[in-house]
Amino acid sequence: MELLSLKLIETFDYPKTKRNVEEYLEELVLIKYKYMNIMPPSTAIRIFDIQVQSSKNNESSIEKYLILKEEYAEKYKTKMDEIEMFLLSLSRYEVEFFKGHLINNERIETFTKQFRCGIDKVHHIKASAVIKFALIIGVAVEK
């Protein structure tokens, strides 16, 4: 798969299209940080943790933590699988840039070294990746 031509890229409103793609990816970012920031409960025994057998809630705080952590991990995996499916239509460079910059927040300058090209080419890859992804998910904005 090739990069989109600069002429074709110019037919789209890139700032609005990029904003739409970032909004789509916000859910993934929220899930990622919620998942990473779920902390296990203290293992110290506290008086209010002692439950009477007739209590309706049989889950311990550690079980609740593990269930919640697993739910977020599953949500994150599902969203990443969905994105991976969309990325199949992009070129190798676009996929690497998309994952690295838009998902993992790597600096654009790192891609000049990784792709062995100038900053202008990296910006071309960036625009092509964002617009292709936007077209796939249906959020591209034409001028």
> Which pairs from 81-87 meet CB under 8 Å and 24+ separation?
83/25, 83/28, 86/133, 86/136, 86/137, 87/133
Tally the domains of the chain.
1
Kindly tell me if the per-residue pLDDT of 86 is higher than 90: yes
Tell whether 22 is covered by a domain.
no
8 within a domain of the structure (yes/no): no
The verdict on residue 20 lying in a domain is no
Q: Phi/psi of residue 142, each to 5°?
A: -85, 155
In a domain, residue 113? The reply is yes
Q: Provide the whole-model pTM.
A: 0.77
Domain assignment present for 44: yes
Q: Residue 142 carries which DSSP code?
A: B
pLDDT digits (tens, 9 = 90+) for 99-119: 999 988 899 999 999 999 999
21 is a domain residue: no
Average pLDDT over residues 70-90: 91
Q: Note the pLDDT of residue 78.
A: 92
The DSSP code sequence of 37-56 is TPPPPP-S--GGG---TT-S
Asked whether residue 55 carries a pLDDT value surpassing 90, the answer given is no
Q: Which tens digit of pLDDT belongs to each residue from 37-52? A: 766 665 545 545 555 5
Range of the domain at 67: 27-137
